[in-house]
């Protein structure tokens, strides 16, 4: 699949990354080569092989349902640009 | 043209765990903002999620309760989207291999029949935080206490054909999750919310019409009203030559309408992929069997037993089995008095009436199930008559006495069945009412039946309500007729 300039900008927008046109051209090349490799992989015959959800051959460990965390709000909010009444403040989200 | 409505529901149920789905932070409701949001919930760099075993067990219990397949392997995926109340930039969910496979839920319809609604699947996911758009100098405030709270999303097939069926389905889900104790089912606090997919098609047409999704409806009543409005809107639109667009809409209960949520429709692109931080969850058969054996009796089974074994009507069985608390209360009453029908009548009559008047739930009833059972026993063994029983109930409701027996004793409500005593009262009343006796004597015999009511009332009054009414009636009739 050929990647286009607009695809790169769209992916960047979905992740809210600011890319200059020049950056986008650069990523177009990089990502294009990654997708080429994916095309190679797609060409393999995988019939009868179960899809791999995780490269580690292990299963998920579960934890007991216990509250182990204490309130460390002040600590966490030290790196926030703006807080008020315990809330994190972010640029207005208008629906 | 005849239109048919097609409805599918996505119900989000908040699971009643102590801690979050992937972290050890508390899920308690109503804490100070961000005091229950730990590094994992905040999406800090370098943290790793660890799955809560209770959330898994609760999801599987739900699956077993709706007779669903429980796949051996389920996988968590990342649903990527950008919103400030989702600090990681993705919601950890299950897109391709959910923990609960296809199942079904039975709903009761108004005409007394039942219908099976297929459940496509149910999956585990985490809730997001809360955005507060009030006045923060043009900024939005974010509370992440809810972020990471475990949710079970239950996705139905488009099997419902009316707003009533959709509400019945939602009630059935509510009843199952509260019976299982896997959720408090508190819709006002958001423990259960649903997205409704609605479309219309000409009756008889096989393919579905274009659907609209109504987001975040949080009460049984709103589900019905939102659907009714939306169906009418779509039919009018089509009949006026328009077309329904696939979009997300919001129900506004104040104006009783649904509104489009986005003006500029940007197609969602969630770019799902398996979450590399979580390994596949594998449930062996022994684990699932163990959970199956520990399931409580569920609403459908209870309803069937109430009807079959206890001989209650379908309606009574349905009402009493609808909530676990109601069913448990009823069963204690029934076991105490030994008569299911009497127990059903009292629980649904006197008790429910009083609870409704005071706006109380059965959990808060001032009259306990054992007290009510004791009261019914005294009616059944003729210690008190029906009128006195209501007085005893009221006294117990007001906290005047710990048992029916105590109230009966204290208020002297024991029924008088001694015919000598009743006859003496009757003689007194007859002696005191010469005018009424004369009227009775002069009346046509077929009209006397009605006129006897006056005398019965006087005798009951003289006995302060304790005389056996059947006895009073019979003895009065004999005595009055002897005078004619």
Is residue B413 within 8 Å of B391, Cβ to Cβ?
yes
Q: Flag whether residue B248 sits within 8 Å of chain A, measured between CB atoms.
A: no
Q: Report the alpha-carbon distance of residue B421 to residue B458 in Å, rounded.
A: 15
Q: Report the alpha-carbon distance of residue B397 to residue B357 in Å, rounded.
A: 12
Interface of A with B (CB under 8 A): 14-16, 53-54, 56, 58-69, 71-73, 76-77, 82, 84-93, 95
Q: Which residues pair with B78 in a beta bridge?
A: B92, B273
Q: Report the alpha-carbon distance of residue B8 to residue B426 in Å, rounded.
A: 68
What sign for the dihedral angle of Cα B195, B200, B201, B203? Answer: positive
CB contact under 8 A, B52 and A62: yes
What's chain A's average pLDDT? 91
Q: Which helix (H) or strand (E) holds B104?
A: strand B103-108
Q: What is the mean pLDDT of residues B248-267?
A: 77
Q: What is the mean pLDDT of residues B307-335?
A: 93
Q: What is the mean pLDDT of residues B308-336?
A: 93
- The residues near B28 (Cβ < 8 Å, ≥ 6 apart) are B36
Query: Given a cut of 50, is residue B246 above it in pLDDT?
Result: yes
Residue B77 with chain A: CB contacts under 8 Å? none
Residue from B326, B23, B251 nearest B148 by CA: B23
User: pLDDT tens digits, residue range B67-94?
Assistant: 999 999 999 999 998 889 999 999 999 9
User: pLDDT tens digits, residue range B354-384?
Assistant: 999 999 999 899 999 999 999 999 999 988 9
Residue A76 with chain B: CB contacts under 8 Å? 34, 37, 39, 42, 44
CB contact under 8 A, B133 and A92: yes
* Band of residue B154 on the pLDDT scale cut at 50, 70, 90: very high
Helix (H, G, I), strand (E, B) or coil at B468: coil
What integer pLDDT is reported at residue B449 of this predicted model? 77
Is residue B15 within 8 Å of A66, Cβ to Cβ?
no
Q: Report the alpha-carbon distance of residue B160 to residue B145 in Å, rounded.
A: 35
Q: Residue A18 CB: number of other CB atoms within 10 A?
A: 7
Higher-pLDDT residue of B140 and B113 is B140
Is residue A46 within 8 Å of B301, Cβ to Cβ?
no
Q: What is the mean pLDDT of residues B328-340?
A: 96
What integer pLDDT is reported at residue A1 of this predicted model? 57
Min Cα separation B123/chain A (Å)? 16
User: pLDDT tens digits, residue range B282-292?
Assistant: 999 999 999 99
Paired tokens of B65: 């309760």
Question: Range with the lowest mean pLDDT among A11-15, B65-69, B259-263?
Answer: B259-263
What integer pLDDT is reported at residue A53 of this predicted model? 84
CB contact under 8 A, A87 and B136: yes
Give me the sheet containing B257-260, strands edge to edge.
Answer: B103-108, B114-126, B150-156, B3-14, B192-202, B212-217, B248-252, B257-260
* Band of residue B306 on the pLDDT scale cut at 50, 70, 90: very high
User: pLDDT tens digits, residue range B46-69?
Assistant: 999 999 999 999 999 999 999 999
What integer pLDDT is reported at residue A25 of this predicted model? 93
Question: Range with the lowest mean pLDDT among B30-34, B97-101, B438-442?
Answer: B438-442
Query: Given a cut of 70, is residue B316 above it in pLDDT?
Result: yes
For chain B, what is the radius of gyration of the CA atoms? 31
Query: Given a cut of 90, is residue B255 above it in pLDDT?
Result: no
Fold for B419-483, please state it: Arc Repressor Mutant, subunit A (1.10.10)
Q: What is the mean pLDDT of residues B196-213?
A: 94
Query: Given a cut of 50, is residue B99 above it in pLDDT?
Result: yes
Q: Report the alpha-carbon distance of residue B74 to residue B56 in Å, rounded.
A: 10
Is residue B180 within 8 Å of B39, Cβ to Cβ?
no
CB contact under 8 A, B26 and A69: yes
What integer pLDDT is reported at residue B473 of this predicted model? 86
Q: Report the alpha-carbon distance of residue A25 to residue B212 in Å, rounded.
A: 39
Q: What is the DSSP letter of B359?
A: T
What integer pLDDT is reported at residue B80 of this predicted model? 93
User: pLDDT tens digits, residue range A58-71?
Assistant: 999 999 999 999 99
The residue to which tokens 């699949």 are assigned: A1
CA B258 to chain centre: 25
Helix (H, G, I), strand (E, B) or coil at B310: coil
Query: Given a cut of 60, is residue B264 above it in pLDDT?
Result: no
Closest by Cβ to B82, choosing from A16, A60, A64: A16
Every domain of chain B and the residues it spans: 3-287, 297-411, 419-483
What integer pLDDT is reported at residue B262 of this predicted model? 64
Is residue B5 within 8 Å of B140, Cβ to Cβ?
no
Q: Residue B447 CB: number of other CB atoms within 10 A?
A: 11
Query: Given a cut of 50, is residue B11 above it in pLDDT?
Result: yes
Query: Given a cut of 50, is residue B265 above it in pLDDT?
Result: no
Residue B24 with chain A: CB contacts under 8 Å? 63, 66-69
Residue from B432, B430, B425 nearest B441 by CA: B430
Question: Range with the lowest mean pLDDT among A76-85, B269-278, B347-356, B444-453?
Answer: B444-453
Query: Given a cut of 80, is residue A2 above it in pLDDT?
Result: no
Q: Report the alpha-carbon distance of residue B389 to residue B378 in Å, rounded.
A: 8
Paired tokens of B233: 């809107």
Q: Report the alpha-carbon distance of residue B286 to residue B228 in Å, rounded.
A: 46
Cβ within 8 Å of A, B 96-135: 97, 131-133
Higher-pLDDT residue of B439 and B177 is B177
Q: Flag whether residue B278 sits within 8 Å of chain A, measured between CB atoms.
A: yes
Q: Report the alpha-carbon distance of residue B341 to residue B347 in Å, rounded.
A: 10
Query: Given a cut of 60, is residue A73 above it in pLDDT?
Result: yes
What sign for the dihedral angle of Cα B88, B91, B97, B98? Answer: positive
């Amino acid at each position: 699949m050929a990647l286009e300039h607009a695809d790169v900008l769209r992916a960047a927008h979905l992740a809210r990354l600011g890319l200059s046109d020049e950056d986008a051209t650069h990523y177009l090349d990089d990502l294009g080569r990654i997708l080429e490799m994916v095309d190679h992989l797609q060409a393999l015959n995988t019939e009868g092989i179960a899809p791999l959800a995780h490269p580690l051959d292990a299963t998920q460990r579960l934890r007991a349902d216990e509250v182990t965390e204490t309130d460390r709000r002040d600590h966490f909010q030290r790196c926030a640009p703006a807080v008020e009444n315990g809330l994190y403040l972010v640029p207005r989200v208008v629906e | 043209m005849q239109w048919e409505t097609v409805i599918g529901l996505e119900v989000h149920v908040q699971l009643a765990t102590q801690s979050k789905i992937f972290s050890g932070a508390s899920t308690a409701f109503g804490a100070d903002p961000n005091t229950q949001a730990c590094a994992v919930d905040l999406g800090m760099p370098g943290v790793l999620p660890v799955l809560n075993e209770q959330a898994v067990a609760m999801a599987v219990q739900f699956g077993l309760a709706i007779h669903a397949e429980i796949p051996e392997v389920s996988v968590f995926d990342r649903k990527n989207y950008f919103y400030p109340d989702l600090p990681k930039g993705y919601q950890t969910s299950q897109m391709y291999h959910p923990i609960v496979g296809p199942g079904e839920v039975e709903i009761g319809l108004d005409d007394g029949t039942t219908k099976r609604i297929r459940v496509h699947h149910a999956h585990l996911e985490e809730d997001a935080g809360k955005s507060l758009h009030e006045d923060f100098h043009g900024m939005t405030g974010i509370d992440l206490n809810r972020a990471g709270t475990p949710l079970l999303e239950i996705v139905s097939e488009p099997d419902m054909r009316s707003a009533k069926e959709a509400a019945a389905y939602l009630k059935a889900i509510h009843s199952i999750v509260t019976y299982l104790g896997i959720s408090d089912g508190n819709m006002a606090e958001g423990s259960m919310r649903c997205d409704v997919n609605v479309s219309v098609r000409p009756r008889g047409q096989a393919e579905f019409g274009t659907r609209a999704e109504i987001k975040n409806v949080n009460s049984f009543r709103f589900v019905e009203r939102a659907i009714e409005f939306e169906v009418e809107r779509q039919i009018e639109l089509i009949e006026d030559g328009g077309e329904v667009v696939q979009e997300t809409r919001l129900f506004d209960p104040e104006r009783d309408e649904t509104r489009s949520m986005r003006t500029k429709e940007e197609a969602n692109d969630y770019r799902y992929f398996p979450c590399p931080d979580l390994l596949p969850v594998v449930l062996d058969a022994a684990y699932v069997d163990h959970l199956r054996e520990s399931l409580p009796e569920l609403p459908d089974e209870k309803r069937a037993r109430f009807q079959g074994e206890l001989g209650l009507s379908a309606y009574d069985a349905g009402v009493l089995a609808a909530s676990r608390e109601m069913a448990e209360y009823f069963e204690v009453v029934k076991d105490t008095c030994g008569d299911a029908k009497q127990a059903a009548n009292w629980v649904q009559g006197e008790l429910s009436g009083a609870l409704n008047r005071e706006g109380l739930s059965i959990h808060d009833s001032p009259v306990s199930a054992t007290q009510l059972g004791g009261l019914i026993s005294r009616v059944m063994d003729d210690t008190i008559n029906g009128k006195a029983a209501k007085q005893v109930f009221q006294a117990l409701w007001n906290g005047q006495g710990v048992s029916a027996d105590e109230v009966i004793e204290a208020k002297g409500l024991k029924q008088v069945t001694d015919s000598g005593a009743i006859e003496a009262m009757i003689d007194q009343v007859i002696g005191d009412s010469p005018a009424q006796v004369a009227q009775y004597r002069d009346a046509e015999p077929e009209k006397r039946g009605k006129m006897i009511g006056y005398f019965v009332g006087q005798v009951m009054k003289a006995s302060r309500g304790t005389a056996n009414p059947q006895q009073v009636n019979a003895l009065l009739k004999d005595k009055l007729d002897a005078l004619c």
